[in-house]
């Protein structure tokens, strides 16, 4: 079955360019020119991944991303003409899984889309055949790799696919310290390059969602000068 991808950008030429590359790869492509149209499509179509521009009329991409995250757990790749680290951080903290700066290479975008879809499918499929290995429980933190379910002391936690991947990596290797480069390499599946801020943003969001006091975490611990561990 071909994956359904939503491309959201107010620039018609960019929408059409991405559509051509996606359809050449066999994907089913939906197009939206603003945030309102994007949200309607997400709620009415079987969208499995979004390519989402930041600057758009009516509702900007950051708000769209936040609203989608309340309802869906699909991968989101954000596009922006801005390249400053703070802009990337805003995108990632809104719930995006990846961030590309315009102008971008369509071939690189396709590669990232494939990577996101592959990782999302693997995570959702993990442990289905073996219930005993699909559940992880650590001091009130519960992770089910079959259902993508995360709970803390019985409270449901909504994580993005990327946040779930990081938490799962650490939980499966309890007590082992992972550097930011190793986390990036394991979760993003790419060679690490200037990745420290990206990983830190995701760790911060995980803590905000799972910890009673994110400044004094009991799950995802910082090992200063080395990395992170559970």
Domain coordinates of the chain in residue numbers? 4-124, 129-229
Contact between residue 150 and residue 167 where contact means Cβ atoms under 8 Å apart: yes
In which residue are the tokens 């709970």 written? 151
Domains 4-124 and 129-229 share a fold: no
Structure tokens at 175: 């007590």
| Nearest partner of 183 among 201, 175, 195, 194, judged by Cα | 195
Contact (CB, 8 A) for 230 and 221? yes
* Whole-structure pTM value: 0.59
What's the confidence (pLDDT) of residue 55? 87
What pLDDT was estimated at residue 84? Answer: 61
**42, 80, 100 from 34: Cα distances, Å:** 13, 14, 18
- The number of beta carbons lying within 10 Å of the beta carbon of residue 204 is 15
167 closest CA partner among 221, 130, 117: 221
Q: How far, in Å, CA of 153 to CA of 212, rounded?
A: 11
Residue 127 has pLDDT above 50, yes or no: no
Say whether pLDDT at 38 is over 90.
yes
pLDDT in tens, 87-120: 666 667 777 888 888 889 999 999 999 988 887 7
The answer, yes or no, to whether residue 178 has pLDDT greater than 60, is yes
Q: Which CATH number fits domain 129-229: 1.10.3720.10, 1.10.10.10, 3.40.470.10, 1.10.357.20?
A: 1.10.10.10
Interval 25-45 mean pLDDT: 93
- CATH 3.40.50.2020 fits domain 4-124: no
């Amino acid at each position: 079955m071909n994956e359904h991808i939503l491309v959201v950008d107010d620039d018609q030429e960019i929408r059409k360019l991405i559509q051509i590359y996606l359809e050449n790869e066999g994907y089913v492509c939906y197009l939206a020119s603003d945030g309102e149209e994007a949200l309607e499509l997400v709620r009415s179509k079987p969208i499995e991944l979004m390519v989402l521009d930041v600057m758009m009329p009516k509702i900007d991409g950051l708000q769209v991303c936040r609203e989608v995250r309340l309802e869906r757990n699909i991968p989101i790749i954000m596009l922006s003409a801005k390249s400053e680290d703070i802009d990337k951080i805003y995108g990632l903290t809104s719930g995006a899984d990846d961030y590309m700066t315009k102008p971008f290479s369509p071939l690189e975008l396709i590669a990232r889309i494939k990577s996101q879809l592959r990782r999302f499918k693997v995570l959702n499929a993990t442990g289905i055949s073996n219930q005993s290995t699909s559940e992880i429980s650590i001091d009130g933190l519960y992770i089910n790799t079959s259902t993508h379910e995360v709970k803390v002391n019985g409270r449901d936690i909504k994580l993005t696919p990327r946040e779930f991947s990081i938490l799962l990596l650490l939980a499966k290797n309890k007590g082992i310290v992972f550097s930011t480069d190793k986390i990036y390499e394991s979760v993003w599946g790419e060679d690490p390059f200037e990745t420290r801020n990206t990983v830190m943003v995701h760790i911060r969001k995980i803590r905000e969602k799972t910890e009673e006091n994110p400044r004094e975490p009991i799950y995802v611990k910082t090992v200063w000068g080395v990395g992170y561990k559970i």
